[in-house]
Amino acid sequence: MGAAIVIGLAAVVVVVNLLHKGPQAGHVKDEPMLAGRDLQSFPAADEDYFGQMDGGYRGVKLSPDEVKGRNNWIVWTAGNDRLWDELTNSSFGTFDLLKTISSYPGLKANRDNRWEYLGVVNEPCFKKPTAGDADRFGLWLDIRDPDCAPDPFANADKYKGVEIGARGKVIDSASGKVLPVGSFYGEPTGIVGLRLFPNPAFDADAAKDWDPERYYKDPAYYNRRDLVRPYRVGMGCGFCHVGPDPTNPPDDPNNPQFENLSSVVGAQFFWIDRIFSWDADQKNFIFQLVHTAKPGTLDTSLVSTDYINNPRTMNAVYMTRQRVELGLRLGQEKLGGGSRDNRQFSDFPGYEAFDATYKAPDTVFVPHVLKDGADSVGVLGALNRVYINIGLFSEEWLLHFNPLAGGKPVSPIRIVDGRKNSVYWQATEEQTPFVAQFFLNKDVGAPHKLAEAPDAEQYLTADETVVTRGKEIFAENCAACHSSKQPAFPPEADPRNSAGPDYMKRWDAYWAYVQTPTYKQAMREIALQPDFLDDNYLSTEMRVPVTLLATNACSPLATNGIAGNIWDNFSSQSYKDLPSVGTITVKDPFSGAPMDYKMPAGGRGYTRPATLASLWSTAPYLLNNSVGPDMPYATPNPTVAYRMEAFDKSIREMLWPELRRKDTVLGDAGVGEIYRTTETSYLSIAGGYLPDKLAVLASPLERWLPWLFGDGGIRIGPIPKGTPVNILSNLNLRLDNAGTAENVANDAKLLKLLIEIKKDLKELGGNASDADALKVFANLKEPLLELSKCPDFEVNRGHYFGTGQVPTIAGIPGPEGLSDSDKEALIAFLKML
């Protein structure tokens, strides 16, 4: 994500860095280690509290270790409440989870409308507050239903929290009030996946300063970087992965029961713009940036920014066991450097059935979990990386980059440092096998079939002749990427063992073979077998070059997993050795003219095909949910009828690309959707978030630099309505794997560009229209595009299989398009997946 949206923000970051020299990477410890805690003091929670979820209401049972895994997935936050508290300051107050969980009347979301407005899941057994809670510092937090049993994970006797800072100490001498230590799982917040922890920084002085009414109402109070909130909010994986069960949806999505919820479907209705920007101010460019994320998408490099705006679908986690088995056949990877330090199943007793997934010292046979196939180090390593990405050992992690803003060199977080200096890290690694066991349960990961949903008969096609034809079309046009059941391949086209520098040669041979009558006949015979869908993961998980997919290139251009970057230890050497896929064609966001762009090597340029399991319930489509209707998400309702409406519109846009949304400016020129600002906006930083020495200068400089300083803070803009968001968000503030001289030259180009933008905007005068201001950016498009880390702005293009528009690669023409009747037959079959 390119959260460093203008160079002025980078300047603020530089000032902060100059004013404060902090601890050094590899030499910090986490809170429990500082408090003298050890691994054994963090036991896995064993209560089957979520027993009705994931099919439990219909008899699905979990083993004791699988129960521990599900609990970990939903309520284990591993100390990341520290990260999310710090990000309130890093986002200059735009992001504040303590407000997200509140039901104060002046806020835009509360328990009654959280589902519609935020797309988050209300946890059963809670009620909306009617007043601030004096026992919880006057905050308007959800109240536990007295008819429900206590939350077992909040048991501070069994799961004693980390006693550090003000926790366990008197914070009000008059009343003797003590800040509780609490549980290391925190308390429930009323939102699945978010947990509440006493803030160890909330000491007696902070308690005297605390005013809950001003916290909700007074910007001069809550927009202060020195404001200490009484709680920190931690995030479990369940926040982004628990959602309504497609086959057993709740009657009221704001009041689900546990039997209505699934741990694997993903937060398909999640509005990150409204969660990340609690007041949703459209005149704030930060909101405009996160507003590009369509419901159900999230930029996983939001915090560890790579200067590319990359909102991507939060995929369902279906069929993990079948996925692991597929990795044994097609997923051989070589490890190197720090990636060899990842835990494997063989490191834990009781997992002998998975010994074949690892061959010492450096070979793994793995599925590719991330969309770009970067986390190719083993199932346990892929899972552990998820916890780090949401804040595990943030004391160390945040030393390797500037969160959100960037502007300093990125370095790898090392597994050996986490294992040595973080008890939370140790406990996460120890419990990850339980999480893997939970997902390896075939009942938990089974697709949600439309045939098992209410009123399914009105949506499924009864004509077996049509369905059979759909299977044949699928075999000939889709199965090469979307079936784990495949015929035997000749040696020259066998995709196994092909990762690394020769990958494109192997891919070209594979792609040529799957176009032959021999392959298509063999695949048809497999597809027509009655057990074709049984245990079929409906993906090969191969890395498909973007030159063939023709989808937006920003996702496969992400750099977090390349050599020397933040996730270096969590990507294989085979990934890092991948060659360039070649040159792609992108479109000028100001004129629509085609432009060539050479894709880099080193891992970038590839996308693994998503599984089509439960396709009927997962629309919209593509990496970023860009193909399909925006309309249904205005009033989200996870009913079968709602999902089928989204499916029908989305699949038709996939197969008839002319139906896809056009750009609001260049649509007549044939350009697809481009993320553009919806209002004239500014990057606004309240004075309370500025470093003290810079804050002192803000008011006197406002007269002389009104374009930068205003209202006691920093105000960068105006950024006109209709500006391509990614023309700013994708500016590359730090070059990857570059020396000081190269970055100094890049800095000079960025500074020159900023000066030119401000000069040209100033010359327009105060009465300039948005169209006039937009011309400033158009006139500077050459330096803007030169400095862009991803110059591909058209977000809903590509995946033209079945349409006759598949590109020719390596001299291999794309397959012909399907007739309308064959497309209809294919749709009839896809509903069954």
Is residue 10 scored above 50 in pLDDT? no
pLDDT of the residue at 277: 87
The model's pTM: 0.93
> Would you state the torsion angle of the CA atoms of residues 47, 240, 450, 320, taken in this order, to the nearest 10 degrees?
-70
Is residue 770 scored above 60 in pLDDT? yes
Is residue 824 scored above 90 in pLDDT? yes
Confidence of residue 504 (pLDDT cuts 50, 70, 90): very high
Peptide bond into 815 cis (omega under 30): no
Confidence of residue 19 (pLDDT cuts 50, 70, 90): very low
Say which range, 323-327, 597-601, 613-617, 716-720, has the weakest mean pLDDT: 716-720
Q: What is the DSSP letter of 529?
A: S
From residue 252, alpha-carbon distances to 33, 57, 258, 637 in Å are 44, 18, 13, 9
**Calpha distance 406→13 (Å, rounded):** 8
Asked if residue 717 lies in contact with residue 285, where contact means CB atoms within 8 angstroms, the answer is: yes
pLDDT of the residue at 735: 83
The whole-chain average pLDDT of the chain stands at 90
Selection from 798, 786, 787, 796 nearest residue 311 by Cα: 796
Identity at 829, one-letter amino acid code: F
Asked if residue 233 lies in contact with residue 88, where contact means CB atoms within 8 angstroms, the answer is: no
Segment 726-744, tens digit of pLDDT: 999 998 888 888 888 887 7
Confidence of residue 5 (pLDDT cuts 50, 70, 90): very low
740-764 vs 7-19: helix crossing angle, rounded to 10: 130
Selection from 713, 734, 724, 699 nearest residue 785 by Cα: 724
Write b or e for each residue in 461-485: b if 16 or more Cβ atoms lie within 10 A of its Cβ, otherwise e.
Answer: beeeebbebbbbbbbbbbbbbbbbb
pLDDT over 70 percentage in the chain: 93
How many residues are there in the chain? 833
Alpha-carbon Rg of the chain, whole angstroms?
26
Q: What average pLDDT does the segment 399-409 reach?
A: 82
Please count the other Cβ atoms lying within 10 Å of the Cβ belonging to residue 127.
Answer: 14
For 92: left if phi > 0, alpha if psi spans -120 to 50, otherwise beta; the answer is left
Asked if residue 429 lies in contact with residue 393, where contact means CB atoms within 8 angstroms, the answer is: no
Q: What average pLDDT does the segment 236-249 reach?
A: 96
Selection from 69, 163, 156 nearest residue 430 by Cα: 69
**Calpha distance 727→512 (Å, rounded):** 37
Segment 96-115, tens digit of pLDDT: 999 999 999 999 999 999 99
Segment 53-101, tens digit of pLDDT: 999 999 999 999 999 999 999 999 999 999 999 998 877 778 999 999 9
Q: What average pLDDT does the segment 423-449 reach?
A: 96
Asked if residue 373 lies in contact with residue 61, where contact means CB atoms within 8 angstroms, the answer is: no
Q: What is the DSSP letter of 485?
A: -
pLDDT of the residue at 483: 97
Domain residue spans of the chain: 79-267
Measured in whole angstroms, the distance separating CA 78 from the mean position of its chain's CA atoms is 18
Pairing of strands 583-587, 594-598: antiparallel
User: CB under 8 Å to 135, separation ≥6 — which residues?
Assistant: none
